[in-house]
A and B are shown apart, each in its own frame.
Chain A
Amino acid sequence: MTTEQSSHKNSFSSEWLWRAVLPIALVVLLLGFAAVDRSVLSPANLLNIAQQTSYLALFAMAQTVVILTRGFDLALGPAVSMVSVGTALAMAGATATGHDPSIVVLAGLGTGFGLGIACGLFNGVVIALLGVSPFVATLGSYNIAIGVATTLSAGRPVQGVPKLFSQLFYGGSIFGIPAAIIITLAIGLALHLMLSRTVFGRSLYIIGTNPRAAAVAGLPVKRILVATYVLCSTLAALGAIMMTARTGSGEPNLGGSLSLQAIAGAVVGGTSLAGGRGGVGTAVLGALFVTILSNGMNLTRIDGYIQMVVLGAIVIIGVLLDRLRLERRR
């Protein structure tokens, strides 16, 4: 009895301790890398880290939204490639037919988001209405999106991205803050409000915690799930547009290993694959951690292959810590 009581008393402070693990690890990591190479903490590199993080954070947020409902999106990476290629092709085509730059950008955005939404609709309908597991459904769309991206582009980068587009989504800045960071901050804030303040957002947590209870409570689970996958793919499309603006061309290999990186980011940050736990904060923290780790390892010239081993170990340790935290709480 006494041990139970004391553990109960401690649970508040230990909960805070567990929550602080990742931020503390982040600071330790930064200081550790800085001890090896001073330039890690230079303002230029910190801004660089923030900018790199903003892409991964966006993808981790997209992934978090579906993970909350016990799903995940393996097709996120290929969808990014597909959107990148589609956006660039549409803009190149519109430029060739002599349209105004602003019309060209609009055509690109329309195509990019259209492809993203189509991919999300496919995933959502197959998962929610046909009852196929998220793994198989998004593995299917993974293959389809890769096929579409490489076929449309013939496997080569698509040139012809107008300056205005790159300026809007990459080169531009407000008070010296690059566009990518501003966009991600704005989206993160909006998503956070949506997840914490709206009925739709809260219902994602209910579906993830207990799908049967959600259905019994009268939530339109199927419709919400479709919307969730569309939201995920739309966020991924935005990230793809930002990355296309950065590279200045539509890249059929842009997504590469992004699906798994985004899942790793979300999971390291403390999002539970069992559903119902996580949010914008965990996604951003996880993305920051993964980015600082790889940035630091690059600057301290750690072999790229060893980096893969470290990232793999970090993912497992991150989930293990989360697991221990949950057991403590019980």
Chain B
Amino acid sequence: MSAVVTAGMPRRSITLGRSIVGRIGLLPALLVALVVGMSAIDPQFYGLINILNILRNASLLAIVACGQALVIVAGGFDLSVGAVVALASVVTAKTMAATAAAFPGNTALIIASGAAAGIGCGLAVGLVNGFCVAKLKVSGFVVTLGTMSATAGVGLMITSGIPAYGMPDSFVKGFGRAQLFGLPTAVYAALAVIAAMMFVQRRTLFGRYVYAIGGNVDAAVVSGVSIQRHIVGTYAVSSVLAALTGILLTAQVGSGQASFGGDRMMLQSIAAAVIGGVSLRGGVGRVEIVAISALFLTILGNALNLLHVDSRLQPVFLGVIMVAAVALDELSRRSKARV
């Protein structure tokens, strides 16, 4: 409303200010408030162990959420990411154990085969998702609902629900639990993924076309964008990133488990994307904000734990914050449209 009153020259600065707020949003402010508040209340919060713990968990969530964000920007959904995390974990561990039995001592080969198998099964699920959505025109919700059930089933089938061991020490101790300059490996992996995704979103044709498809499919078709290939691409990227998370988790824990990821990871990745300003209508969203939102969600969970809030009550906070974030976004969009 104020923009109407102050028409003319000052308007530019106001729209600039508003665009900065719109671009960065409420999220960093909430994040800072949370961190400052928690540091004042509980010194344990800024202890080294707790910070590393937060960073590790936030990194894993951020990697999955980046892929999820890309799919949502293109106007889709990926419900299968949690199941892919589990499947990749199990397949990686089993493959490493099998290769270790066949070629004992050849650590490089063992790790390479395990990682390739994990990423490969992620890619396979992503291609199935993309093919069904893009070529067969089945809604993304239903397709990934189906592959979620199927992928989780395969993961459980391979292991019968028992953790899979037999990975080389250098993979677990030398990679998964290793620290470089005091930070866990997962943090570097997440930073690399976020940087790569930022580059893809801003500087590559693929990234720009994904925005175009999510913003207006018909316009993208008319402009000559090959829709199907790019949609398959988004699902493939999402599943591969989920598989990467599965491998990182496996290396960290030291066993492949079909209980990794799951519905919780899937719902949190969507929550992170949505709170991070990715519109479910498609065409809007940036991975760096999604990563901040993943950090925010992780710190929130951590803070609730430290404050001794009953873990059973914690989902309530997540639910309220998610709805409130999107509702605020929606209301501000409406008031903008009215101006």
Whole-angstrom distance from the CB of A82 to the nearest CB of chain B? 11
A146 to B320, CA, bound (A): 12
Is the beta-carbon distance between B331 and A130 smaller than 8 angstroms? Answer: yes
Is the beta-carbon distance between A126 and B153 smaller than 8 angstroms? Answer: no
Q: A136-B274, A308-B150, A323-B137 are in contact. Are A316 and B132 (CB under 8 A)?
A: yes
Is the beta-carbon distance between B149 and A140 smaller than 8 angstroms? Answer: no
B42 within 8 Å of A (CB atoms): no
Q: Which residues of B (137-165) have their CB < 8 Å from a CB of A?
A: 137-139, 141-143, 145-154, 156-157, 160
Interface string of B61-77 (1 = CB under 8 A from A): 00000000000000001
B108 within 8 Å of A (CB atoms): no
Please choose the segment from B29-37, B92-100, B234-242, B306-314 that sits at the chain A interface, where 4 or more of its residues have CB less than 8 A away: B306-314
Is the beta-carbon distance between B313 and A151 smaller than 8 angstroms? Answer: yes
Is the beta-carbon distance between B326 and A147 smaller than 8 angstroms? Answer: no
B213 within 8 Å of A (CB atoms): no
Q: What are 21 inter-chain pairs, A to B, with CB distance below 8 A?
A: A126-B327, A131-B330, A132-B326, A133-B281, A135-B270, A139-B267, A143-B267, A144-B316, A147-B316, A151-B310, A306-B157, A308-B152, A311-B150, A312-B146, A312-B147, A312-B148, A312-B149, A312-B150, A313-B150, A315-B145, A319-B138
User: Chain B residues with Cβ under 8 A from A143's Cβ?
Assistant: 267, 315-316, 318-319, 322
Give chain A's interface residue range (CB within 8 Å of chain B): 35 or more
Q: A140-B320, A308-B150 are in contact. List 6 more A-B contacts (CB 8 A).
A: A146-B315, A147-B312, A155-B312, A263-B145, A312-B150, A316-B138
B203 within 8 Å of A (CB atoms): no
A-B contact count (CB 8 A): 127
Is the beta-carbon distance between A311 and B334 smaller than 8 angstroms? Answer: no
A148 to B316, CA, bound (A): 7
Most buried by B among A126, A143, A307, A320: A143
Is the beta-carbon distance between A309 and B326 smaller than 8 angstroms? Answer: no
A264 within 8 Å of B (CB atoms): yes
User: Chain B residues with Cβ under 8 A from A140's Cβ?
Assistant: 319-320, 322-323
Is the beta-carbon distance between A126 and B142 smaller than 8 angstroms? Answer: no
User: Chain A residues with Cβ under 8 A from B132's Cβ?
Assistant: 316, 320
Report the nearest B residue to A122, measured CB to CB. Answer: B323
Report the nearest B residue to A303, measured CB to CB. Answer: B157
Report the nearest A residue to B153, measured CB to CB. Answer: A308
Is the beta-carbon distance between B267 and A142 smaller than 8 angstroms? Answer: yes
